Structure formats: C-alpha cells, structure tokens
Amino acid sequence: MIRIALASTNKAKMTAVETFCRRHFGEFELTPFAVESGVDETPNTDESAIKGCRNRVLGILSTNSDFDYIVSMEGMVRQVLPLGWFLCGWTMILDVKNKTEAFGCSGMVQIPKSITEQMSKSKKLSQIVLETYPLLKASELEEIGTNGVITSGVYCRSDEFVDSLKCAYGTLPLKRQSTYQENIHENNSIA
C-alpha cells in the first residue's frame, strides 16, 4: 500500500489527491497535515508558490518521514500581460525513499476584472469572491474554489490540483518501463 502525506487539510486538495491515487495506485493511505507555507495567502509568482510547496513538504519531513510520498499544493494568481490575471496551482511531490522531487503546474483560468480590481495583499481572494457572489456559501467556495465559481463548475479547484499532480508525478524518474507499458495496454493511453 502506498502511504502519502498531504501538506494540507483543504478539502479540494484532499479530493484531488484521492482522485489521482484511486486511478494510479489502487490501495493507498492518505494522511493530511496542517502545515504553513511561509508565503503569502495567495502567492502571485511561480517562485513564491514553489517555495510554499517546498516549505510545506519540509514541514512534514522534519517530523515524519514514514511515507512513500509527500505532496504539497499551492494555488496562486499570475499576471499574464496583456490578458490580465489568472488562477493556477503548483504541486510538489517528494519521493521520500529515493529523495527525488518533482513539480507540476495546472492549467490557468482567467479571473474576471470585477475580482481583479479588488485584489490586494490585505484582502483574501476568497473574501473578494464571496463579496462578489453574495449567494455563494463559504462551504461551496471551499469545495469548488474560485476556479469553479468563475467557470460555473467546469474547472474546479480539485481539477486544478489533479492536473498539477499528474504533471508532477509523471515526471518522477522512478516510473519503470513495466508500469508505463501496463498503463498503455490497460487504458489505451497514459492518463
């Protein structure tokens, strides 16, 4: 059985890891940890989001290394000129036994101007979204994320992190040829 530590207790992140693991590992044990990132609540640079991922992984590793993988995820906003601001997410996976790390980034969702005009370091993005969409409940926002609100549920926060998790895991150099061949024959594609 694969043992995975997740450097978060966020529901969308746990759902993303569970979705990925059911498909790729079968039997797994997921243990969430509340770990601080040491970066802004919503990072606005890749470097800051990656640093947040690494800080969370190191936070778990400093107290517990009895896992096959430690996974950390960090959502962020990124300015893409001339288009505006986008949401995306980074994932870091540490293969504990082999001391190998891998990173992956999700697709991006453009943030409407009605939200970006209110963004500031002193105001949480979730607070802005809840004020902009007053019928939205905080529990719904936690589950689908700002991405889910913006895309009407087409691309939710858990989708963002499944994508970044696939990108990170797929680049771990430990993937054996037999596993690759089994995936191709079993699924007719690599998912």
- Domain-by-domain residue ranges, the chain? 2-111+155-187
| Residues 6 or more apart in contact with residue 60 via CB below 8 angstroms | 5, 7, 33, 35, 67, 70
pTM value is 0.87
Instruction: Indicate the Cα dihedral angle 153, 16, 7, 44, nearest 10°.
Output: -40
Strands 84-95 and 109-110: antiparallel
| Distances in whole angstroms, Cα of residue 113 to Cα of each of 20, 83, 119, 128, 150 | 33, 10, 10, 12, 11
- Fold for 2-111+155-187, please state it: Maf protein (3.90.950)
- pLDDT tens sequence across 4-32: 999 999 999 999 999 999 999 989 999 99
- Which pLDDT value is given to residue 7? 98
- For the chain, what is the radius of gyration of the CA atoms? 17
53-88 per-position pLDDT tens digit: 999 999 999 999 899 999 999 999 999 999 999 999
